[in-house]
Each structure stands twice: as structure tokens, then as C-alpha cells.
Chains A and B, each alone.
Chain A
Amino acid sequence: MSQPAIRILVVDDESAIRRALRPPLLELGFQVAEASRGEEALQLLRAGAYDAVLLDINMPGIGGIETLRRIRSFAPRLPILMLTVRDQEEDKVQALDLGADDYVTKPFSTRELIARIRSAVRRVRAPVRSEDAPIEIGEIRLEPVKRSVTKRGELVHLTRKEFDILHCLMIRAGRVVTYARLLTAVWGADCREEVEYLRTFVRQLRKKIEDDPSNPLYLLTDVYVGYRFADAQMFQDPDAALEEGLPARTPEIALEPAPEEAS
């Protein structure tokens, strides 16, 4: 790989989990630092540069959420992945709303974790692109300027709200967008509780853009948390995906350069 090694800070109070993560991460070319508490993590982050943080939510001391808040105050773009457990949906949503990039639910597989880390780091390292740049993920292409969506080159007729939802999800492809965030973005802050509204529209959207709406490929549900548009990497050449240690049906971001960059 031409890119420099990814430096990861693993923050978890359980030494068993840190011990289990260290060897495979090192083996796969990551540089690993460890912290057992939020306070320690903050010190390390201030002292040195890291590419990503794995942050446990449940920790003694200031805890994961507060640590996240403090990290965000001085490192707004540092990719942070939360390590959570099931039944902590509210914590997940809170962490995402506070700026966490993603979360993995314990017990997670190392493969999934690494894929998520790489994806988060790649997003940060990707060149900043214009809001109006067309987005192409898999067979779906969305052109914000023309407000049009095509699938395999064929125009998909979407209502205004459907388009807004899709746009909101596609510009954040690969990341979870919480219900509240999506609702606020499309309907405004007054509607942040109307999750059922959203479900209705997402169902309609799936009927229009998915080949099999009950087994969606693009518009994915993060149960109890929000929706996620599939990462562009998911639709990349499978061999490259394997090389990156990602699930077979995987990846490379296929963003068109923004018009001004192209020119």
C-alpha cells in the first residue's frame, strides 16, 4: 500500500479486548496505541497524531461520550469509531450526533472493525469535494444540480422529499445518518421525532432504487439508530476489496470530481 500506516488509538478499559485487537491490527500494518481511560486517551491525542480512535462508550472516569465530546473540541475531523453494546441505542445515537464517525457493536468481528476503520480514514483523507458534485455509488447516480437520479442510466422519478433523503444519505455514504439528523435535514427541526414518516419514505425510495426492496443493497437500515447508504467501496472490484480486508461484495469510492476540480 502506498499510503502511510494508519495510526490507531484503542481506548477501552478492558485489557482483554485491547489484547485481542492489538496483534491483528499490527499484523495488518496499523500502528497501535492503547489507553484504558478517556483521560489517558485525551493526553495521548494531544501529545501525538493519530489517524483514528476506537473509543469504548462504557468506561470508568469521564466515559466514552464525554471523551468524544472533548476530542471533538480540538480534533473535529479525526475519525472516531465507538465501541458499543446492544441495548445502547440511545448512546449510539448520542455519539453519532456528537460527531462520532461510526460505531461497532460488541462483540464485533475484527474484519468488520478494520473495514470500518479503513472506510472512516479514507473518507477523511479523500479530497474535499463540492456539495454540488454528482455522486455515483454502484449503479446509482445522483446529480444535485439537476436534482436527478439515475439507475443504470435510467432516470428514477423521485418526489422532492425522496430526493432530499437520498441526497442527504448519499453525500454521507458509508456512514450512519441518525433518524433525527435525517428528519431535521429534510423536514426541519420540528419533525425530528417523526420516525414513522421517514420509514414510509424510505420504503418508497427502496421500491424505486433497489432491485429487491426487501433485501436492500444501497439503502441500509441501522436498526434503532438510523439509515446508511452503502459505502461506495461495497460496489468495487471484489479482488481489491479482499485486499483491503473488506467483505467480498465490496468497495472503492467512485465520486466524480467536482466540476471546478475537473476544469
Chain B
Amino acid sequence: MAIQAAGTRGAFDASFWRASLKPARNREVGVWLAGTYIPARFAFGARRARGSGLRSLLFALECALGIVAVILVAAFAHWSGWLLPVAVVLYLLIVVPTALLCGFWQAVIVSLSAVVVHSYLTSRQLQFNPAADPANSVTLVVFVLVALVVSRLSARVTGHAKEAESWGGQMHDLYEFTRRTLQMNLHVEPGPQLAELVHEIFALEAVAVFDADLHDVYQAGLWDADPQEVAQNVYYFETSDDDPATGLGRRVVRLGSVPVGSLVVRGETSPLTNNAIASLIAITFDRYRAFANESRIETERRTEQLRATVLDSLAHAYKTPLTAIRAASTGLGEMGRLSPGQADLVALIDEQTDLLNDLTNRLLTTARLDAGEVAIHAVPVGVGSLIEEVVAGLRERLASMKVLIDLPDDDLVVCCDHQLMVMLLTQYVDNACKYSIFGTTVTIRVTHANAEAIFSVHSYGPVIPMSDRERIFDRYFRSSTYSNRAAGTGIGLSVAKRVALIHGGYVWVTSDEIEGTTFFAAIPAPALKRCS
């Protein structure tokens, strides 16, 4: 929440914060070690406000404070008449904290000043003779070396700590961004929200996000020129780079390897952060699509279910009147005493009732298939018995037809819902009967290839135009070549398709003047052989 609290000043604060990581600024360490985030940022912000002159002044002040401390210690040691080794330990007590808190160069200046001050004070003592006492010189040199090494080490440690803090900050920002994108409202397009979030959280000067799917560029912050073109170019030319001169970072937003948009930012970020932002944007785009898809599917499903329910109840409501009509018309026939004309009319009623019943049954089946109410009850079924059953069911219709059953692999077994498969094949064979040219042969064939059983029904009839070959399996679609020739509703083939799909298979049709028309249904059939 620190960033949000920073409000409109966020951009200013954070950009400085990152810039100020590079130069030495040891005083703030204490603040950082205290573990609080906001005070540190405000502290840096305040520092930036006073400019780089202040930094030099601070440097001088730190050095001066160190030197004053050294002079005081040296004077105290001199007055007390302490020996050099004791004084050196005291000097180290000043140099080490300086190195830790202020930096390497401050520590160097303080330690050199300690050597100078100490040499000055001792040189005023008559008994002190560096030439006569080389141990003192060695001690001083060792002190300088130790001070330098300690300063260097502590400066390095401080540097690492700063780096870690910088990463911590960036991780925090990314975490915040992730959290906010997860909470985003996915009912509306994500682009504008993403641009605002990136701008706010990463405290950038300007942000542009291009959503390739919706083909729209969303921007936040202040752009000198319209970023539309830049953002689109990044997407189209797939250029991901960072330009330190202009402060522009460009990223193609990819989902896997597929570009789905682009991100252009201006401001202080690291390339790695830009990459992470682009990835998070990609994920959000994907979530938005999935969410939209899911809502659409859910709506479709509900509509479909409602339609199916209506169809189902209609079909059931038709059954009773149909039964009464059929019982009555056939009853009339049974009672006899009808004139030939009356008998004809009664037969007509009977026939049409049959048709109506057939239609009702098909509607009922489609409705159930659509509503997903048909639970697939897959059992191993021999294709031979399947075909026999289909042919037996259509016996009356096939009585006047030539039918050839071609089963190269008589023992082929398919794991399928017996009832549904019979329905599919019945539809195919029934279709072939309806549309084939009188006197030609209808061939029912089952082959096995690539772990699929391919059922086909071939007949000679009108050619199905290429444009209709997909749509012929759609509900209520009737091919223009067919619609005037035979009774039909355009439901049967859609049922066939759904049955195949339910089994994980598929359907297609080939049709041509010479070869005739063949309807296919491929049903997965891993090498299953009858074991009996």
C-alpha cells in the first residue's frame, strides 16, 4: 500500500529511488535496516529535492565529522600519553563505522587524516623519532592498510545490501502488480486497467498497452506523441528492446510464442521488470479471453438447455395425440366395412401419423443430445451385429433397394454406445435410401485404419455441392440439391454428427458425379478384436 499512499507523487519518488541506488548514500541505511519501506522512500525523495549539490555537501560533512572525531581521539591519546597501537584501535573505531555508514571514500579520507593528525601530534614530541622507532611507522602503515581493506569490504557489503533492497523493491512492485491484475474486473476489457496499473505501480512516466485481439491501444501517463503507432509497430515487427537514451522500454506481449499485444513504457525500469510486466499482461489477456469464452459457453449452454427442454416437452406432448390418432385410424381399418376410398384415406392418416412420429422422435433425440442428457454407455460392439441391426431396423425401406454390406474385417469391435451408433448408421442408410437413384446399390462398408473404425454408406444420387458439405451436418440445414426431392427436416445428419462427436469421432462426406456420394463416420477403435 506504500505505493498507493504515495499517490500522484509516486512517479517522482520511485524514479528517484532507483536513480539514487547507484551513488553512495550511506546515511539512509539505518532507515532501511529498520525494515520500513515508506520512510526510506520519502527520505530519498527528500534528498532528491535538494539536488546533487547537497550530495557533495553531505560528503564533505561526513568527511569533516570523521576528521573532527579523529582529531579529538588523537588529542585525547596524545594528552593521555597512550602508545600508538592503542590510538590505532581508537582510529579504527571511527574509520569502520564511517566505511559502513558513509562509504569507501569517506573512510579513506578519515583514515588518512588520522595518519596525518597522529604524525603531527607525535612529531611535536621531542622524544618521538620515527627514524629511531621504525615500529611506529610500520604500525601507521598497517593501520592505513587495514582501514583501506575494511572500508573496501564494508562498502562492498553496503553495495550488495542496496542491490538486494532494489530487487526487493522491484519484486514488491511486481507482486503488487500481480495481485492487482488478479483482482481485476474481467467483465470489461483489460487494456485500460492494465495501462493504469503499470503506470501507477511502477511509477512510470508513460505507459501504452496494445491489445492485438481487440486491436486497441490503451495509454496512461503523459505521452508527448500518440503512442498508438509505436505500440502497434512493436507488435507487428516484434521488437523488444530498451533504449536508455529515451528511457523507452518496448516489449512484445506473448502468450507462449504467440504475440498477443505489446507494451511500451517510458521511465525508470529494469529490462527484467519490463519482461515480467509483459508476461503478466499476457496472462491477464489470456484470463480475460478465457473468462469471456467461459461466459459465452455458459450462456450458450443455458440457451441450448432451455431449447432442449422446450423441444423435449413438446415432443412428449405430441406423443399422446399421435398415439390416439394412430390407434383410431388403424382401429377404423381393423373394424372393416370401409369403402376402398375410405380405406385409402385411413391409410393416409396412418402413414402421416407415422411420419409425424418419426419427426417427433428425432427432435427428441436431438434435444437430448444437445442438452448433453444422453449419457454415453460405451461397450464393445461388433460392427457386424451393428450393421445387421441397422439393416434389420430399416427392413421395410430397404426392401425395394439393392444393399451391399462390405465388412472386410468381420471381427472388428468398436467401443461405443450401441444405441447411438445404430442411430447414426440408420440415419446414413436412411439418407442413402431417400436420395439414391432408383435401381442403384447402397453400399455399407466398415474398414479399420489408424485405430479408427470408418463406417461409410455409399450411394449414387445428386451431388452435394462443395459449399454444403460441412453445413449439411448442421441442424436444420438442407442442401439445395436435396430439399426439393425428399421428405426431411435437416435434423438427422446433425444427430449423426453429434453422435460421432460424443464418441470422439468425426463425420464427413464426399460427393461426385462419377464416384457417387459417401457419408463417413470415423469412430476411435483401438485394435480391439473379439476374443471369443
Contacts and interface: CB of A to CB of B under 8 A. Distances in A.
B335 A109 contact: no
Main secondary structure of the interface of A (DSSP, over half): helix
Question: Which residue, of B324, B389, B393, has the highest number of chain A Cβ atoms within 10 A?
Answer: B324
A111 B324 contact: no
Contact of B388 (A17, A20, A114, A214): A214
Interface in A209-238: 213-216, 221, 223-224
Given A16-B320, A20-B331, A23-B331, A107 B326 contact: yes
Q: Contact residue range for chain B?
A: 35 or more
A195 B416 CA distance: 13
Interface residues of A, number: 40
Nearest to B326: A107
A17 B320 contact: yes
Interface in B328-373: 328, 330-336, 350, 353, 357, 361, 364-365, 368
B389 A221 contact: yes
Contacts of B127: none
B391 A214 contact: yes
A19 B413 CA distance: 48
A110 B330 contact: yes
A181 B392 CA distance: 22
Given A23-B335, A86-B361, A223-B393, A109 B350 contact: yes
Nearest to A26: B335
B364 A87 contact: yes
Given A111-B330, A111-B333, A223-B393, A106 B532 contact: no
Interface string A179-217: 000000000000000011101101100100000011110
Interface stretch (B133-141, B159-167, B376-384): B376-384
B323 A17 contact: yes
Given A109-B350, A110-B331, A203-B384, A223 B389 contact: yes
B322 interface: yes
A215 B395 CA distance: 7
Nearest to A18: B324
Question: Which residue, of A21, A214, A223, has the highest number of chain B Cβ atoms within 10 A?
Answer: A214
B326 A195 contact: no
Contact of A28 (B321, B335, B361, B422): B335
B325 interface: yes
A24 interface: yes
Contact of A223 (B322, B380, B422, B532): B422
A214 B380 contact: no
A107 B388 contact: no
Contacts, number: 112
A158 to B, nearest CB: 15
A16 B321 contact: yes
A110 B334 contact: yes
B437 interface: no
Contacts of B395: 215
Interface in A86-123: 86-87, 89, 106-114
A27 B335 contact: yes
Nearest to A197: B532
Nearest to A113: B327
A89 B365 CA distance: 14
Contacts of B323: 14, 16-17, 20, 106-108
A106 B315 CA distance: 13
Question: Which residue, of B330, B357, B384, B405, has the highest number of chain A Cβ atoms within 10 A?
Answer: B330
B319 interface: yes
B388 to A, nearest CB: 6
B270 interface: no
Interface string A155-199: 000000000000000000000000000000000000000011101
Contacts of A110: 327, 330-331, 333-334
Contacts of A202: 385
B341 to A, nearest CB: 20
Contacts of B335: 23-24, 27-28
Given A199-B381, A200-B382, A223-B422, A85 B319 contact: yes
Contacts of A214: 388, 391-392, 405
A245 interface: yes
A199 B331 contact: no
B402 to A, nearest CB: 13
A159 to B, nearest CB: 11
A114 B334 contact: yes
Given A20-B331, A23-B331, A24-B331, A200 B530 contact: yes
Nearest to B380: A196
Nearest to B324: A16
B392 A108 contact: no
B328 to A, nearest CB: 4
A245 B320 contact: no
A108 B397 CA distance: 19
A223 B361 CA distance: 15
Nearest to A89: B419
A101 to B, nearest CB: 20
Minimum-distance CB pairs A-B, first 6: A24-B331, A16-B324, A107-B326, A20-B327, A109-B330, A107-B323
Given A17-B324, A23-B331, A206-B388, 17 more contacts: A14-B320, A16-B320, A86-B361, A87-B364, A107-B319, A107-B322, A109-B326, A109-B327, A110-B330, A110-B331, A110-B334, A111-B333, A196-B381, A200-B385, A214-B388, A221-B389, A245-B334
10 contacts: A21-B327, A23-B331, A27-B335, A87-B365, A106-B319, A107-B353, A109-B327, A109-B350, A203-B382, A245-B334
Interface of B: 316, 319-328, 330-336, 350, 353, 357, 361, 364-365, 368, 379-382, 384-385, 388-389, 391-393, 395, 405, 413, 418-419, 422, 530, 532
